[in-house]
Amino acid sequence: MSKYNVGIVGIRGAVGQEMLSILLERNFPVGKLRLFSTSLEQDTEIDGHLYEALNEGNAAQKFADVQVGLFSPGAAVSKVIAPLAAAAGCAVIDNTSAFRMDDDVPLVVPEVNPEDIRRHKGIIANPNCSTIQMVVALKPIHDFSKIKRVVVSTYQSVSGAGSAAIKEFEDQSKGTMDVNAFQYQIMHNLIPHIDVPQSNLYTKEEMKMVHETKKIMHDQHIAVTATCVRVPVLRAHSEAVNIETVEKVTREKAVALLQNAPGVTVIDDLPNNKYPLPLEAQGKDDTFVGRIREDETVACGLNMWVVSDNLRKGAALNAVQIAELLVADKLI
């Protein structure tokens, strides 16, 4: 089997660490593994691994012999470094928001639109974590009966805000209530504000779900409205999703469609207290769907509860799955 040199950019972050773990778990055919940090001024050995300092000046040289780049260094850094890596011949899979809405950059969830990788020009974008798990659940329904409208409320874990947010949450769980990573104390609280406000009074996170869903599903007619909330959960995002379809989809049909969908596990037995929980989704690869029921207020509506590990399927796993598609389709 051919092997591929892989570079992880943003290795010191929560997603970068998860990318490293998943590459090893899934036995990706790694030749040489390079770990890059844009926050270091010089190459440094940390925990037995060499972390290479990466910057605009050395990026072309660093990526000259790297075939796959898994990027999660922040959008501002990716905008500068990713094109340099791609120009050096590396297939960049970028987990930031830098290129997601670029018409020339595929935005890919392997269970939903794997064919889009074939038109990449060096960079493939990984969608937002909250969008990924939602479209995995929407895809089988949309294929059966076109979705007209989606109303989603998210319950997003603190790990989605990065390593500093994780530490702040852990500190608050021990009684230290200093607030730096969030707008307010997150312990014993909910914060209906993720990312920066937009002119329409939605947040950037909410508008990501709107625009990314349309692009991934190849359907600009799907109406999406979102409210994104940070909750005191360490890991795994949850979403209450209400959809309206063109033709009626019964609960029974929806369950059957989801049970046969790739990357989906249905946990749906309300009388016996069986439904997806973020605590149980941690460390798992699938998107979990439950509380599936018909919306009695409209003729063709469904409600679902969707839970997935935001660091795995919502970020690192999705990126590695894209790399696996590139290998399988001989695109690198």
Amino acid at 293: R
| Predicted pLDDT of residue 48 | 82
Question: If we measure between CA atoms, which residue out of 200, 160, 199 comes closest to residue 182?
Answer: 160
Specify the pLDDT at position 250. Answer: 98
Q: What is the pLDDT of residues 78-94, one digit of tens each?
A: 999 999 999 999 999 99
Q: Percentage of the chain with pLDDT > 90?
A: 97
**Whether pLDDT at 321 is above 80:** yes
Task: Tell me whether the CATH fold assigned to 4-126+315-328 matches the one assigned to 130-310.
Answer: no
**Cα–Cα distance, 114 to 99 (Å, whole number):** 17
Across the chain, what does the average pLDDT equal?
97
Contact in structure between 18 and 44 (CB atoms under 8 Å) = no
The pTM for the full model equals 0.96
* pLDDT at position 311 over 90: yes
**Residue 49: predicted pLDDT:** 86
| Pairwise CA distance, residues 160 & 230, whole Å | 9
Secondary structure letter of residue 20 according to DSSP: H
Length of the chain (residues):
332
Identity of residue 322: I
pLDDT of residue 144: 98
Q: How far apart are CA 282 and CA 33, in angstroms?
A: 26
Confidence of residue 95 (pLDDT cuts 50, 70, 90): very high
pLDDT at 259: 98
160 band by pLDDT with thresholds 50, 70 and 90: very high
Task: Catalogue the active-site residues.
Answer: 129, 237
What is the DSSP code string of 142-190? HHHS-EEEEEEEEEE-GGGG-HHHHHHHHHHHTT----SSSSS--TT--
Mean pLDDT in residue range 132-146? 98
pLDDT at 197: 98
Element holding 134 (H helix, E strand): helix 129-144
pLDDT digits over 18-54, tens only? 999 999 999 999 999 999 999 999 999 988 889 999 9
| Strand pairing report for 237-245 and 147-156 | antiparallel
CATH topology of domain 4-126+315-328: Rossmann fold (3.40.50)
Mean pLDDT of 93-97: 97
Task: Copy the structure tokens of residue 223.
Answer: 């109406």
Question: What are the tokens at 131?
Answer: 């969008």
Per CATH, domain 130-310 is 3.40.50.300: no
Q: Which of 42-46, 205-209, 260-264 has the lowest mean pLDDT?
A: 42-46
* Domain ranges within the chain, ordered by starting residue: 4-126+315-328, 130-310
- pLDDT at residue 1 is higher than 80: no
* Mean pLDDT of the 121-144 span: 98
pLDDT at 152: 98
Task: Read off the DSSP letter of residue 137.
Answer: H
Q: Which residues contact 314 (CB under 8 A, 6 or more apart)?
A: 128, 129, 130, 132, 133, 160, 237, 308
Asked whether the beta carbons of 324 and 139 are under 8 A apart, the reply is no
CB neighbourhood size of 296 (10 A): 8
Angle at 299 between CA 296 and CA 305, to 5 degrees: 50
